[in-house]
Structure 1
Amino acid sequence: MAILLQRQIEQLKQRVLYEGAMVEGAIAKAVTALVNRDEALARRVFAEDLEIDRMEVEIEEECLKLLALYQPVAGDLRFVVAVLKMNNDLERMGDLAKNIAKRVVYLCRAEPVDLQIDFRPMAAKAQDMVKRSLDALVNADAALANQVRQDDDALDEMRRQIHERLRAAIRANPNQVDTLLKLYSVAKHLERLGDMATNIAEDVIYMVEGEIVRHQEAD
């Protein structure tokens, strides 16, 4: 029974890592489409989100089956519980990538606005947090996971600065409000990607150390 459980847990880990790679790819495409105003690339994200949704359901079913059949304890139980939570966050990341892609489709067809916003630094920060949260999962690295938690405030500040500029632009250019609001939501979605990466990092800490750190300040 123990050997079977470990085999199932290893298979589950590989499926989550594949889901994570799919999510990273969708985010990368959405960001590239945003920077280059590439509608065709943005639309590719929509199809990938459907695949991520399918994987999320399958992984959840697999976790529930493991809990019912094997009744894992200690570290194995923490792993399955953490995967259940990470799986949901990864699916939400896929949704955020899709939402950014939807804004790109709109922006490609809208009249250009007077304000130039460079999303590349914020997008790079969000992508780095996602990557390192998944690296922390692969390596069961609680220290790396805690570094991801520490970076969340910096991403929040980048979002705040972009939103401040956009609010000023909306007041000055009310005729461009629809397009400016789309840019406003892009910044919010990038921030939320960082939030989801932080959630995954916190689940890694729980998985490795058995400590629930949500609602605690990062060291």
Structure 2
Amino acid sequence: MPTVGDDHIVKSYDAQLKTLRDILARMGGLAEAQLDMALAALEARDSETAMKVKAGDAAVDACEQQVNEQTLRLLALRAPLADDLRQVVAALKVAGNLERVADHAASAARRTVILNDNPAMAPTRSLVRMGRKVQVMLHEVLGAYLAYDADTALAVHGRDQEIDEMHASLFREILTYMMEDARTITAASQLMFVAKTFERIGDHATNIAEMTYFLVTARPLDRHRPRRDVFDGGV
């Protein structure tokens, strides 16, 4: 029985699908690098590195455009079905999520520049830890997607709640600083924005996990994704 990634009789078809995956692999590497630089800039209070993140966003956008063009070409010329159609649809969705990951990394970097004009705050350490966990999620899910690894995708999906809980805990920690000293409000509010961007990157990694699972198994991942709103009274 054929499985996802099997060769086709028409070799040019395989070449086109490989080109699509190569673009996504490059795009994933760029998105990971953007997040890594954003985290390094935040941790080291390095505005120069933060500005490089903003400059690197265009390369990720260019990759997304290439994915869009390649998938349209495949749909128009090959009319893919079954496994092949899932590969094309997954590529579009994964590219869209990676583009948003890069956007969020650039947003975190812009906030870092503002943070560096203010005194350092202790919650930054917790924020960096959260960001590193999200970074691991992103790296693992991209590996799962490229390797057709449904089990790893499932494991990454299961860690989304941990990131949501870290975000809620960090929100409370930062809010405490704001309440105790009004002079921290500017920096604290920027930390909150950065925390939200990392939480959203975790969501995009989880979306890629869901798409990977569907790509490999032809079944939607029906596990519930519980969410906690930091503004709920129970948090």
Give the match for residue 36 of structure 1. Answer: 44
- Structure 1 CA distance for aligned equivalents of residues 172 and 93 of structure 2: 33
Structure 1 residue 212: Cα displacement = 1.8
1:109 match: secondary structure: coil
Q: Deviations over 1:114-144 (max 9, x none)?
A: x443123211110000001101012100000
Paired residues for 1:4-43 under 5 Å: 4-43=12-51
Give the match for residue 224 of structure 2. Answer: 217
Structure 1 residue 211: Cα displacement = 1.1
In terms of fraction of residues, the more helix-rich structure is 1
Mapped contact 2:24–2:91 kept (Cα < 8 A) = yes
Aligned residue type for 2:199: E
2:124 pairs, out of 117, 135, 142, with 117
Q: Deviations over 1:34-89 (max 9, x none)?
A: 00000111111011111111111121121111111110111111000001000000
Aligned residue type for 2:57: D
Give the match for residue 61 of structure 2. Answer: 53
Give the match for residue 166 of structure 1. Answer: 174
Structure 1 residue 3: Cα displacement = 1.9
- Structure 1 CA distance for aligned equivalents of residues 186 and 93 of structure 2: 35
1:117 match: secondary structure: helix
Mapped contact 2:23–2:66 kept (Cα < 8 A) = no
2:197 pairs, out of 189, 194, 201, with 189
- For structure 2, the residue ranges without an aligned partner over 5 or more in a row are 1-8, 226-235
2:159 match: secondary structure: helix
Aligned residue type for 2:136: D
Mapped contact 1:141–1:208 kept (Cα < 8 A) = yes
Give the match for residue 231 of structure 2. Answer: none
1:150 aligns with 2:154: no
1:110 match: secondary structure: coil
- For structure 1, the residue ranges without an aligned partner over 5 or more in a row are none
TM-score (structure 2 length as normaliser): 0.88
- Structure 2 CA distance for aligned equivalents of residues 160 and 180 of structure 1: 14
Give the match for residue 74 of structure 1. Answer: 82
Q: Percent identity at matched positions?
A: 32
Runs ≥4 residues deviating over 3 A: none
- How many pairs were matched up? 216
- Structure 2 CA distance for aligned equivalents of residues 175 and 168 of structure 1: 13
Structure 1 residue 109: Cα displacement = 1.6
Mapped contact 1:42–1:102 kept (Cα < 8 A) = yes
Aligned residue type for 2:178: I
Q: Deviations over 1:153-208 (max 9, x none)?
A: 11111111100111122222223212111001111111111100000011101111
